[in-house]
Amino acid sequence: MSDRPRRALSVDEDSEEILEAEPAEAGAARRGVDAEAGAARRGVDVEDAGDTKGPRWKGPVWAVSLAVASVALSLATTAIPQSQRTAPAAQLVSSGRTLLCPPSQGKATLSAGSLSGKVQVGTSVETLSQTSTPAVTTIDNGAGYVRTLPGQRPPTGSALSIEKGLTTWVPCVRAATGGAVSLTNPSVSDLVVSAVSRAATVDVTLLGAKGEIDTAGMRGIRVSAGQTAVLPLSVWDNDTTPVTALVDARGGRVVVGARTWAPKGRETIAMSQPSRTVYLPAVPANVSTATLVVSNPGTTRLTVSVTALAPHGSFTPEGADEIDIDPRSTIQVDLSKALAGEPVSLTLSARDPLVARLFVQGKRGTTDYAFAGPGSASKLLEQTLGAGGTLELSNPGGEAVTFTGTLVSSGGEKTELSGTVPAGSTWSGRVPGAGHLHIAGSAPLVGGVVSDTGLAVLPLDGVAMSTNGRRATVDTQLR
C-alpha cells in the first residue's frame, strides 16, 4: 500500500487504494528482483537464457546470490537524492454547521450570531440569506435556521417569544439521528419533529412512571426534508405525570422539540442527548416550585446523584442525595424547598446515560413557568440573546475559574464582563440587553441566562476547542 497522503473521505465514499508511480529504473530493477525471488522461493531452477547447456543453479545457491544483489540494489537506491513533500501548516477552520430552533406556539424572533461576523438565517434551508451578526429576524411560529459556512466559526442562536407576560426562550440546536425531551404534563403537549436537509423516518418511545408507554402508531413516521411533523402526545398519553419522549431517526437527521400550553404556561423545549453527566445551569432564584424530571433510557436500574452549585458553595438538595430509577422509566423529584432561595446550577451524574430537566414556577398561582434545560461544560461558552437578563456561571471543578466575556449588541456596542467563580459555586451578573455573548474561562464552566421579562432560562452553548495540525514530511522513497 502506498504511503502517499490521501484526502479525507466523505461519508458517502468508500476507501480505495491509490497507486503511486515509481521511477522507471527503480521499478524495472524491483520487477526483475521480484520475479527472480519468486522463482527462488518456489524452488524453481533459474538458468541463463543465452546458455542452455550451462550449469543449473538450485534454489539455495541462488538465494545467496539474490541476497548479495539485494544489498547492492539497496546501496544504489540510497544514492538517489532524497525527495520530500512537505504539507502546508494546518489552518484553524471548521466544517459548516446548521442549527434549528423548534417551532414556538407564539410569534417568535430568531437571534443568531457567530464570532465570524456573518451567518445565514431563515425559516428554511432554501430561504437562508447571509447577514451580519448579531442578527434578529421574525420567524413567528415556524422553525428558525442558522448556518455558518466551512471555515467560519460555529453559530449560536435562540428563539424568543413574549406574549401576555409569558416568555418562551429556546436554543437552536444541531440536528442528530435522535434526541430526548422531557415534559411534566403530556396531556397538554405536542411533540414537534423537524427534518433538516433529508427526509427522515422516526420512531417515538415514551418513558413514563411505570415504564414504556404503549405508543402504537408512533413508529415509522415519515418527515419530509425541510418539514415539521406535529404529534399530539395526548393521543398516546392523556395522563398528567411526567414523561420523556425518545426519538430515533433513520435516513436523515432531525431536531426534536416539544410545546406545552395552559395550565402549565406556554413553553417550547429543545431536545438533548442522554449523558452520564447532565448539567442544568441557571436555575432562577426565589422560585415557588421546582420539579426535577429524570429518565432512565437504559435497561438496568440506575442510581443518580444530584449536586447543587450555589453562590456560597455546593450542597446536596434535600430528597435528591440518591435517586433510584427503574429501567425505561421517568420519575419526578420535588426540590421546591431545597431550591427556594439562591440561584443554583444542578449537576446530575450516574454510571449510565440519563435524561434530565428542571421544571420551575415563578410566583405561586400563576402560569409563569420555565424549563431549565441541559447545558455544556466548556472553557468557551457562547449564545446569542434576544433580550437581557441575569447571567449565571457555575464552576463544577475543584479549582477557582477566572473568566472574561464580551456582549456585542446589534449596533456593535460592546459590554465587557469578568470575574472569578470559586470551585463548586455559582456567579451571577447582569447582561444589559440583546446581543452575542462570548465567555472564556481558565477552566470549564456551565452557564445560562435568566430572562428579565417573564420567567425563561436559556443555556449557553459550549464551543469546541480547535487545535493546529502537525506539519507532515513525507519521504517518497519509503515503501
| DSSP assignment letter at 272 | B
Q: Which three cell numbers stand for residue 315?
A: 450542597
Q: Which three cell numbers stand for residue 21?
A: 508511480
Structure confidence by residue, pLDDT tens digits, 244-302 = 999 999 999 999 999 987 665 678 999 999 999 999 999 999 888 999 999 999 999 99
CA gap 149, 93 in Å, rounded: 10
pLDDT for residue 38: 46
Q: Which CATH number fits domain 274-354: 1.10.287.3510, 2.60.290.11, 3.40.50.720, 3.30.930.10?
A: 2.60.290.11
Q: Which residues of the chain have pLDDT under 70?
A: 1-96, 262-265, 465-479
pLDDT for residue 165: 75
Domain ranges in the chain are 24-46+57-86, 274-354
pLDDT for residue 238: 78
The closest of 42, 5, 35 to 20, measured between CA atoms, is: 5
CA gap 254, 128 in Å, rounded: 18
pLDDT for residue 73: 44
pLDDT for residue 465: 56
pLDDT for residue 18: 32
Q: Which residue has the cell 397538554?
A: 188
CA gap 310, 44 in Å, rounded: 83
Q: Which helix (H) or strand (E) holds 438?
A: strand 435-451
Q: Which residues face 208 on adjacent strands?
A: 211
CA gap 379, 233 in Å, rounded: 38
Please say whether the beta carbons of 241 and 163 come within 8 A. no
CA gap 279, 372 in Å, rounded: 10
pLDDT for residue 217: 84
